[in-house]
């Protein structure tokens, strides 16, 4: 088989995918992080894992087909809902958002579906697309560390506060996975202020029971707030408009996040903290309460720890997942990326020492 020409390598792209419970979004991401046009389709979650993988593969084909003629798929990165075994590219566990998702071999399923798009392999190996799969919060974090609010940091805590509360811990430039693939479950930290409040996990006193978006709405109603308030966004708006109870509930939620973050940074001592998710747009009341609680708790040496708002928005997970794929295939055009066996633990370790 002929060596790939520089020209062919230039038409060999990496695609990043953000795979959520309601929407799949994808785009090309260049080695320098430049994002192509984002295409999206609804997630056929109810139709099961095979349908979801079909939809991902179809979307990736669309993205590649939209490029100048003859482009090949050099690597694919996927950030997905659920707990991921990154070394194997397999889903360990997931919520009901994606029925049947646990156990799904995302990497293998997409490699099979997209083999015809693969760049040529060296010396007669069957072509295969290197596929990198990680949890979507980790993908978000990887994006922010690569090109966003934590760009250049070797270590960071990235927190997402929205429907739930999640986090990613980046050390030596890569998201910490954990012994059970669940590192970063910030939402289930015990936190002062959440005592007796019920967490979605069934226990009491965890951060998510007071700090997540739905908790704000629920608590506002439970404390006697206006029963006509439809959702968290409304409670946040009322807080901004001077509703004392709404303000208290929003402030309590933000302070709980701040205290939890304080606990984590006290033990991890990262370079920077980045906060994103729906509530990161909740305004100054929420931010100042979070930051106030954080700074009040930490020891002196951490007093100036940078606290930043996530910068990349919805594209962060696409970019971050693509970064994982780039780390598999390498930035140069010399080796257009066939790796027999795909994402073994060894591949993962190689990645970690670069």
Q: Which helix (H) or strand (E) holds 285?
A: helix 284-297
Across 162-202, the runs of DSSP E, i.e. the strands, are: 165-171, 174-175
With contacts defined by CB under 8 A, name the span among 177-185, 246-254, 279-287, 314-322 that binds a second copy.
177-185
Give the residue among 37, 6, 2, 31 at the shortest CA–CA distance from 315. Answer: 37
Using rule CB under 8 A, residue 93 touches a second copy: yes
Q: Is 251 in the site for a second copy (CB under 8 A)?
A: no
Distances (CA, A) of 305 to 16, 214, 299: 31, 29, 11
Candidates 95-103, 135-143, 268-276, 327-335; binding stretch for a second copy (CB under 8 A): 268-276
Contacts with a second copy by CB under 8 A: the residue count is 50
Choice between 126 and 301, CB closer to a second copy: 301
Site for a second copy (CB under 8 A): which residue of 130, 270, 336, 342? Answer: 270
Asked if 185 interacts with a second copy (CB under 8 A), we say: yes
Torsion of CA 190, 191, 196, 201, to 10 degrees: -40
Which of residues 74, 206, 238, 251 is near a second copy by CB under 8 A?
Answer: 206
Q: Which of 32, 120, 138 is nearest to 73 (CA)?
A: 120
Looking at residues 21 to 80 of the shown chain, list those that interact with a second copy (rule: CB under 8 A): none
Spatial separation of the C-alpha atoms in residues 160 and 276, rounded to whole Å:
5
| Cα 145 off chain centre by | 11
Query: How is 133-169 classified by DSSP, letter by letter?
Result: EEEHHHHHHHHHHHHSTTTT-SSEEEEEESSSEEEEE
Among 131, 183, 197, 319, binds a second copy (CB under 8 A): 183
For the purposes of burial, counting CB atoms within 10 Å of the CB of 97, is it exposed (0-12), middle (13-18) or buried (19 or more)?
Answer: middle
271 binds a second copy (CB under 8 A): yes
For residue 175, state whether it binds a second copy (rule: CB under 8 A): no
Dihedral sign, Cα of residue 295, residue 296, residue 297, residue 302: positive
Task: Give the one residue of 264, 279, 316, 321 binding a second copy; rule: CB under 8 A.
Answer: 264
Q: Cβ atoms within 10 A of the Cβ of 1, count?
A: 10
The residue range among 72-80, 121-129, 137-145, 184-192 that interacts with a second copy, by the rule CB under 8 A, is 184-192
171 binds a second copy (CB under 8 A): yes
Contacting residue, 26, 161, 170, 194, with a second copy by CB under 8 A: 194
Enumerate binding residues for a second copy (CB under 8 A): 83, 93, 154-155, 167, 169, 171-172, 176-186, 188-192, 194-195, 201, 203, 205-206, 259-260, 262-264, 266-271, 296-302, 352-353
């Amino acid at each position: 088989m002929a060596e790939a020409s520089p020209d062919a390598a230039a038409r060999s792209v990496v695609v990043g995918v953000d795979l959520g419970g309601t929407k799949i979004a994808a785009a090309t991401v260049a080695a320098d992080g430049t994002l192509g046009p984002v295409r999206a389709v609804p997630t056929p979650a109810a139709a099961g894992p095979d349908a979801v993988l079909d939809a991902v593969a179809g979307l990736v084909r669309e993205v590649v087909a939209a490029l100048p003629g003859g482009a090949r798929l050099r690597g694919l990165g996927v950030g997905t809902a659920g707990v991921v075994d990154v070394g194997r590219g397999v889903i360990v566990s997931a919520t009901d958002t994606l029925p049947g998702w646990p156990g799904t071999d995302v990497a293998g399923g997409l490699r099979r579906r997209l083999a015809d798009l693969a760049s040529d392999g060296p010396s007669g190996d069957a072509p295969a697309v290197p596929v990198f799969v990680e949890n979507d919060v980790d993908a978000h974090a990887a994006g922010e560390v690569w090109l966003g609010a934590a760009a250049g940091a070797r270590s960071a805590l990235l927190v997402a506060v929205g429907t739930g509360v999640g986090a990613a811990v980046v050390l030596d430039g890569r998201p910490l996975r954990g012994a059970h693939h669940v590192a970063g479950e910030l939402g289930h930290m015990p936190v002062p202020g959440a005592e007796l409040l019920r967490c979605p996990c069934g226990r009491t006193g965890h951060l998510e029971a007071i700090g997540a978006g739905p908790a704000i709405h629920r608590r506002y109603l439970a404390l006697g707030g206006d029963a006509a308030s439809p959702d968290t966004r409304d409670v946040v708006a009322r807080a901004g408009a001077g509703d004392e109870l709404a303000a208290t509930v929003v402030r309590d939620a933000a302070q709980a996040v701040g205290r939890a973050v304080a606990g984590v940074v006290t033990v991890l001592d990262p370079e920077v903290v980045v906060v994103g998710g729906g509530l990161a747009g909740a305004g100054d009341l929420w931010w100042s309460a979070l930051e106030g609680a954080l700074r009040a708790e930490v020891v002196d040496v951490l007093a100036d720890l940078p606290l930043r708002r996530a910068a990349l928005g919805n594209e962060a997970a696409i970019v971050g997942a693509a970064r994982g794929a780039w780390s598999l295939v390498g930035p140069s055009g010399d080796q257009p990326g066939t790796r027999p066996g795909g994402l073994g633990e060894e591949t993962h370790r190689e990645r970690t020492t670069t």
